[in-house]
Amino acid sequence: MTDTGKTAADLRDRLWSAVLGGDAYTATDTLYQGLDIGLDTETLLLDVIGAVQEKVGTEWAADRITVAQEHAATAVNERVVTALVPSSPVPADTGWGPSRGRVTVACVEGEWHAFPARLVAEVLALRGWQVDYLGAQTPGPHLITHLRRTGADAVLLSSSLPTRLPTAHAMIAACQAAGVPVMVGGRAFGPDGRYARACGADRWAANAREAATALEGGLTAATPSPGSTTARQPVDDLPHLADQEYTMVVKSRTRLVEETLAGLREEVPALRLYTDVQHERTAEDHAHIVDFLAAALYVDDTALFTGFIGWTADVLEARSVSPRCLVPGLHLLARRLHDFPRATALLHAGAATVAARPGTGPGNTA
């Protein structure tokens, strides 16, 4: 195991430099060497390629690689996976036995980061499942049609962005109403999968191996009694939605962003010197803040919002921008939403997160 671990680490380093250079040839060869020294495909997929892909994300956030490098690396990783795994379904006569069952792997609508889902799909296929991989951004109606057509035993939904949680929730309910149990995974569902439960998923898996193990243990829908229908409304799972705060924030998203920007232009003189592109980025940042605020209201979880604010602060700091620039926007939003106690509390918690960072404490704020 330590040998495997050491070898995998070595391969990871070599793959990392290959993907950074956009060198698909060397990258693929690195993986083939892994096969030659006896590592299995699953290990290569998850402990080498998957690990490198994760590093791509963290290194970008830390501004140690450029956006162009990030894209090149992702693209090369995609090709490496294609080169490593069978392109057609594993034949039924593998060591795993004739039929493990048929599952569908898809990304939540609006989710474009398909790579983790693809790794899950490949691992399941390797382990003998018949896998339909629908890729990034699967519209709900297509997913349901597909499930009905193929008679899938289970569906695995992936999402990396918590802002997609309301959509994920609707898709989970729709799959379950179609009689198919749902397993979810990806960063959107929280580090411990807590939002998976909030959204009514039948199962959460932390990673590809856990997903495979869970499927092997038999994934069944959580609705036992015959005659009961599983169709339900979001508010049945999330009673706090009745306070309309989520609805209000989503409905007035555009206005909230506009008003915040207008407020910033008044309060932060430096903003008036921004270029068009800088203005657009500022607008995008605040649109993101509102989107994450909505997501946090949806699942009623402060950590979702403060986690995002913390991450944004990291990203800004890595690019030599003071995270304090987030605070005025948060205060403006809080003032604007003063009638909504949950939203206001979240925004204050977000501002506190920034203030609590070393070097950005109250002593340093203007």
Site for other proteins in 241-270 (CB under 8 A): 253-254, 257-258, 261
Shortest CB 328 distance to other proteins, Å: 17
Contacts 24+ apart (CB under 8 A), 141-145: 143/104, 143/106, 143/171, 143/174, 143/175, 144/174, 144/175, 144/178
Shortest CB 355 distance to other proteins, Å: 25
Q: Which is nearer to other proteins, 39 or 193 (CB)?
A: 39
Q: Which stretch binds other proteins (CB under 8 A): 100-108, 121-129, 324-332, 351-359?
A: 121-129
Contact status, residue 297 vs residue 245, Cβ threshold 8 Å: yes
Among 96, 170, 234, 302, the residue binding other proteins under the rule CB under 8 A is: 96
The Cα–Cα gap between 27 and 222 comes to 43
Burial class for 260, CB neighbours closer than 10 Å (0-12, 13-18, 19+): buried
Q: 135: which strand partners?
A: 106
Shortest CB 250 distance to other proteins, Å: 8
Nearest to 185 by CA among 261, 128, 123: 123
Q: Which stretch binds other proteins (CB under 8 A): 19-27, 293-301, 305-313, 354-362?
A: 19-27
Kindly state whether residue 32 participates in binding other proteins, applying the rule CB under 8 A.
yes
Q: Which stretch binds other proteins (CB under 8 A): 175-183, 190-198, 207-215, 347-355?
A: 175-183
Contact status, residue 323 vs residue 273, Cβ threshold 8 Å: no
Kindly state whether residue 95 participates in binding other proteins, applying the rule CB under 8 A.
yes
Kindly state whether residue 275 participates in binding other proteins, applying the rule CB under 8 A.
no
319: CB partners within 8 A, 6+ apart: 63
Kindly state whether residue 151 participates in binding other proteins, applying the rule CB under 8 A.
yes
Shortest CB 85 distance to other proteins, Å: 6
Q: What's the chain's Rg over C-alpha atoms?
A: 23
Kindly state whether residue 319 participates in binding other proteins, applying the rule CB under 8 A.
no
Q: Which is nearer to other proteins, 7 or 360 (CB)?
A: 7
Shortest CB 320 distance to other proteins, Å: 20
Residue 297 tokens, joined: 């209201």
Kindly state whether residue 230 participates in binding other proteins, applying the rule CB under 8 A.
yes
> Regarding beta strands 154-158 and 130-135, do their DSSP bridges make them parallel or antiparallel, or are they unpaired?
unpaired
